[in-house]
Amino acid sequence: MSQIWLVPAFPLLGFLLNGFLGKRFGTRFVTFVGPLAIALSFAQSLVLFFQMLKAEGNVLHEHLYTWISSGNFEAGINFQVDQLSGLYLLVITGVGFLIHVYSVGYMKGESGYYRFFAYLNLFVFFMLILVLGDSFLLMFVGWEGVGLCSYLLIGYYFEKDSAAEAAKKAFLFNRIGDFGVLSAVMLIFLAFGSIEFATINAEAATQLEYGGALVTAITLLLFLGATGKSAQIPLYVWLPDAMEGPTPVSALIHAATMVTAGLYMVARLSHLFVLAPFTMNVIAVVGTATALLAATIAVTQTDIKRVLAYSTVSQLGYMFLAMGVGAFGAGVFHVMTHAFFKALLFLGSGSVILAVHHEQDMRKMGALKNKLPITYMTMLLGTFAISGIPFFSGFFSKDEILWKAYSSPLGSPWLWGVGFLTAGLTAFYMFRMIYLTFHGESRVDSHTAEHVRESPFSMTIPLMILAALAVTGGFFGVPHVFHVIPNGMENYFQGFFAEIPSGHGSVSMEWTLMAFSVAFALLAWFFASRLYHSGFDLAAGLRSKWETLYQLSLNKWYVDELYNTLIIQPGRLFSTHVLWRLFDQNVIDRAVNTTADVARMVGNSIRPLQNGLTQNYALIFTLGTFLIIWFVT
Amino acid sequence: MIPIEHILLLSAALFTIGVLGVMLRRNVIVIFMSIELMLNAVNLSFVTFSRGMDSMTGVIFIFFIIVVAAAEAVVGLSIILSIFRTRKTLNIDEFNILKW
Amino acid sequence: MLIIFYIFAALSILGGLGVLFLKNPIHCALSLVGTFFCLGAIYVMLNAEFVAVIQVLVYAGAIMVLFLFVLMLLSSKDTEQYANKWPIGKILAGLLSLGIFVQIASLFTAGKLQLGPKGAYPLEVIEEVGSIALIGRLLFTDYILSFEIIAVLLLVAVIGAVVIAKRRFQ
């Protein structure tokens, strides 16, 4: 009997212990409990993974509790481990564990130490619930929960205004997405009578017509939710601001796990999505556009974490591109490799930030490679991975996506072209980051420069492990054309995702496109080194020539300001003038006050009737008697 | 042998005079006396009906009315005594504190 | 026989009017006593001797004496201002009373009055048994409960009167 419940139980226990007892028992208690909870979770995930591989149909079930049972609707707390959630489990708990260990070093000395680990454990708990649930109900619980933890952790430094604002922004945009998910769930229930994934996937083809309005509506709404959670156009603007949180948070939540929740949902319901070709096109286009947009912004950013944030948005765009052309396996593969190298990059940047005393601006860094050797090496490896340098993990996954974008029946050369361009940009800005941070002249503050030294082992060991994964993780899904190692990813997901008609395109085309991407990436590396190897000076000349573009890019294409004028200000005006002044004050208040006034006036007019004079009362008695006798007789 | 209607008219007249007395006189004790007059008018109508219907119920009822009137007069007068001690007057217009 | 009735009726109405219009309250009381006597006479004419005697004994003899005692105890001179601040009240009172009288009278005038079923004690039976004996018998059989209750009522009234009128010692 598989004990699936153990996997989320350990982090939950960690949260409770850290949250309630952490303050009392101090740092060492929290340091022990926090990472240990995730480690135990990881161990159990491994066990379950292997159990699942041997199980019939590659799925493990566990029924815990029937939550809702009303009429003919029943929803229970059931866990299931199949290929998709098994992979996610390993990634979440594995990378999560490494980040917990890293945080021990990074958050050392912070005042809310126990609070951090409590929230982090809680986050892992919710994320696990999200991927373990077998129906929308439990998935949505996890969905909301990770949104909550994201809010809590982004606003960890809650005394800072900017952090509090960023947390609110994240939560609000998530909420807009949630509206999409909920609407979709209701429609799904109407169509299927059930919200369990197994039922939906099995009956999708029979219940819904291909390309019909209902399935398009459902899938579009689900995608809206995904854009909120996974930071795509139009709801991506919260992710860069979310960098206000501590760096481990950015690594775990906004690189490796929470932002992949949207992708998980799309992958989980692949059978539903393939029935709506319009939505698939939308997903692919939006993904590609987001990837390009974010990449163009990243090339000018000076905050090291912002560069990585936009890079995350961009890479998520790639994953959605994969989903949109039907390459679900490739998309999930990229999720995994991205988790490795992005977490690595974020943690590395955290190491740098810590070394230069919480300075995040690259204009104040430089020439750090000798002082921070391990950080430099690992970040370099991560950059190779993300840029698609051959045989690193990112190369295999990104290339698979680009090939599928070109060759899938739902893809097109245009999609490939934009993806190709973005890949070049990615390599460019990532190497730019490396050069500005580690090479050239030191622009570090003089008195900070004295204290720059490598981070402690608790931080560097996770970096090294992640670097190893970033280098080797790609070999899990080597594309067929290499003919040497079987494509583990494809075998693993055999029969899980919905099938789409096989694409066109020859093997030689695949080699050609691959060669192009590699060449372009290397070219971009070359350009970046030419421009930035000695700091910002050379680039400044280039900047003045393209000033407008530069400003547009630096200011994020003014998207936030656009939202402000189009949506927020009108909303505020409407609320103030119509809802408040017109309706609340004039209508509601007036109604209430008038009722009170009427009561008072009536009372006032009747009151003088009682004047204390007995004979007046007697007179009125007599009047009454007269009237009664009159009516009776 | 006496036509009942006449006696009843007399009763009505006495009752009306009593009502007028309650409403028009100022002295509290005179008002009480008017109330007694009203009670007596009612007594008269009871006896009349009793005679007219060959029944004794009316007579018995009068018995009770008289007792109750007596009790009421006693208690009422003692209340007036009590009030008089503070107010030093028997004018009913002075007893007007129970108002808004 | 009818004449005597009319004389007594007129006298009783005169007495009532006296209560209404006489200024001195003691005069009012005395006129009321007169009314009671006349009513007693009318009761005799209606073959209700016991009631007549009770009327004179209790009403005229006890209750009115009580009134006179209290009047003499609380003599006060200032109660005779007919406060004229609301003359409309007096007119209204008069009209209403007249109205009530007319209404009741219209009930009793010839032809409209309908009595219920006749009881069990016609004149012959009363004269045979004796009205007092009959009343006594009825009180102690059919109406025993009410009889006991008004006994208690009298007790309560006596105690109440003592308690209310007691002078409080400071």
- Residue-wise pLDDT tens digits, B14-55: 999 999 999 888 888 999 999 999 999 999 999 988 888 888
CB proximity A619 to C under 8 Å: yes
**In Å, how far is C104's CA from the nearest CA of chain A?**
8
Is 60 exceeded by the pLDDT of residue A569? yes
Place C83 in a pLDDT band, splitting at 50, 70 and 90.
low
Q: Across-strand partners of A77?
A: A65
CB proximity B31 to C under 8 Å: no
Best C7, C14, C19 residue to mutate vs chain B (most B CBs within 10 Å): C19
Distances (CA, A) of A206 to A98, A195, A210, A267, A499: 44, 16, 9, 19, 15
Is 60 exceeded by the pLDDT of residue C82? no
Is 60 exceeded by the pLDDT of residue C78? no
Which residues constitute the domain of residue C11? Answer: 1-75
Pick from A65-79, A346-360, C115-129: least confident: C115-129
Q: Do A619 and B23 touch (CB under 8 A)?
A: yes
* pLDDT given at position C85: 58
Most confident range, picked from A97-111, A442-456, C99-113, C151-165: C151-165
> From the list C43, C105, C157, which residue is nearest B47 (CB)?
C43
Mean pLDDT of C109-116: 68
Pick from A172-186, A200-214, A366-380, B50-64: least confident: A200-214
> From the list A615, A623, A630, which residue is nearest C103 (CB)?
A630
User: Could you check whether the bond before residue A234 is cis, i.e. omega within 30 degrees of 0?
Assistant: yes
Number of folded domains in chain C?
Answer: 2
Every domain of chain B and the residues it spans: 26-92
Task: Determine contact, residues A344/A382, Cβ cutoff 8 Å.
Answer: yes
Task: Tell me the H-state helices in A107-196.
Answer: 113-132, 136-154, 161-192
Residues in chain A with CB shorter than 8 Å from the CB of B99 are 610-612
Place C40 in a pLDDT band, splitting at 50, 70 and 90.
very high
* pLDDT given at position C110: 59
Mean pLDDT of A74-100: 87
- A26-56: pLDDT as tens digits: 788 888 888 998 999 999 888 888 888 887 7
> From the list C92, C97, C100, which residue is nearest A629 (CB)?
C100
- A413-463: pLDDT as tens digits: 888 889 899 999 999 999 988 888 888 777 777 777 777 778 888 888 888
Instruction: Report the CATH number of the B26-92 domain.
Output: 1.10.287.3510
Which phi and psi angles does A599 have, rounded to 5°? -60, -45
* pLDDT given at position A470: 85
Is 90 exceeded by the pLDDT of residue C155? yes
- B50-97: pLDDT as tens digits: 888 888 888 899 999 999 999 999 999 999 888 888 888 888 877 878
Pick from A324-328, A473-477, C5-9, C152-156: least confident: A473-477
Please indicate, yes or no, whether residues C64 and C2 belong to a single structural domain of this protein. yes
Residues in chain C with CB shorter than 8 Å from the CB of A633 are 103, 106-107
Q: Do C119 and B37 touch (CB under 8 A)?
A: no
Domain of C15, CATH number, reads: 1.20.120.1200
Q: Do C89 and A615 touch (CB under 8 A)?
A: yes
* pLDDT given at position C52: 92
Residues in chain B with CB shorter than 8 Å from the CB of C139 are 60, 63
Mean pLDDT of A506-522: 84
Is 70 exceeded by the pLDDT of residue A353? yes
Looking at the domain assignment, is residue C110 inside a domain? Answer: no
Residues in chain C with CB shorter than 8 Å from the CB of B65 are none
Closest listed residue to residue A281, CA positions, set A227, A325, A328 = A325
Task: Specify the long-range contacts of residues B92-95, CB closer than 8 Å, at least 24 apart.
Answer: B92/A613, B92/A614, B92/A615, B92/B26, B92/B27, B92/B28, B92/B31, B93/A613, B93/A615, B93/B26, B93/C83, B95/A612, B95/A614, B95/B28
Q: Which residue of C has its CA nearest to A626?
A: C100
Place C11 in a pLDDT band, splitting at 50, 70 and 90.
very high
Which of the other chains make 3 or more beta carbon contacts under 8 angstroms with chain C? A, B
Structure tokens at A376: 């430099």
Place C149 in a pLDDT band, splitting at 50, 70 and 90.
very high
* pLDDT given at position A486: 61
* CA triple A99-A338-A374, angle to 5 deg: 55
Mean pLDDT of C32-37: 95
Cβ-based contacts under 8 A for chains B and C: 224
Is 70 exceeded by the pLDDT of residue A584? yes
Is 70 exceeded by the pLDDT of residue A277? yes
Pick from A127-131, A543-547, A557-561, C81-85: least confident: C81-85
Q: Do A626 and C104 touch (CB under 8 A)?
A: no
Mean pLDDT value across chain C: 84
**In Å, how far is C151's CA from the nearest CA of chain A?**
30
* DSSP 8-class letter at A372: S
Which phi and psi angles does B30 have, rounded to 5°? -65, -35
Place A485 in a pLDDT band, splitting at 50, 70 and 90.
low
CB proximity A615 to C under 8 Å: yes
* pLDDT given at position A222: 92
Is 70 exceeded by the pLDDT of residue A227? yes
* pLDDT given at position A128: 92
Q: Do C67 and B74 touch (CB under 8 A)?
A: no
Is 60 exceeded by the pLDDT of residue C84? no
* pLDDT given at position B13: 93
* pLDDT given at position A444: 76
Neighbouring CB atoms inside 10 A of A624's CB total 11
Mean pLDDT of A250-265: 84
3-state secondary structure at position B27: strand
* pLDDT given at position C112: 65
Place C103 in a pLDDT band, splitting at 50, 70 and 90.
confident
Contacting residues for A157 by C-beta, under 8 A, at least 6 apart: A163, A244, A245, A246
Q: Across-strand partners of A70?
A: A73
Mean pLDDT value across chain A: 85
* pLDDT given at position A60: 81
Q: A318 or A504, which is more confident? A: A318
Looking at the domain assignment, is residue C165 inside a domain? Answer: yes
Structure tokens at A403: 């090939």
Most confident range, picked from A407-416, A537-546, C2-11: C2-11
CB proximity A626 to C under 8 Å: yes
Q: A151 or C116, which is more confident? A: A151
Q: Do B96 and A622 touch (CB under 8 A)?
A: no
Place A515 in a pLDDT band, splitting at 50, 70 and 90.
confident
Q: How far apart are CA C29 and CA C18, in angstroms?
A: 9
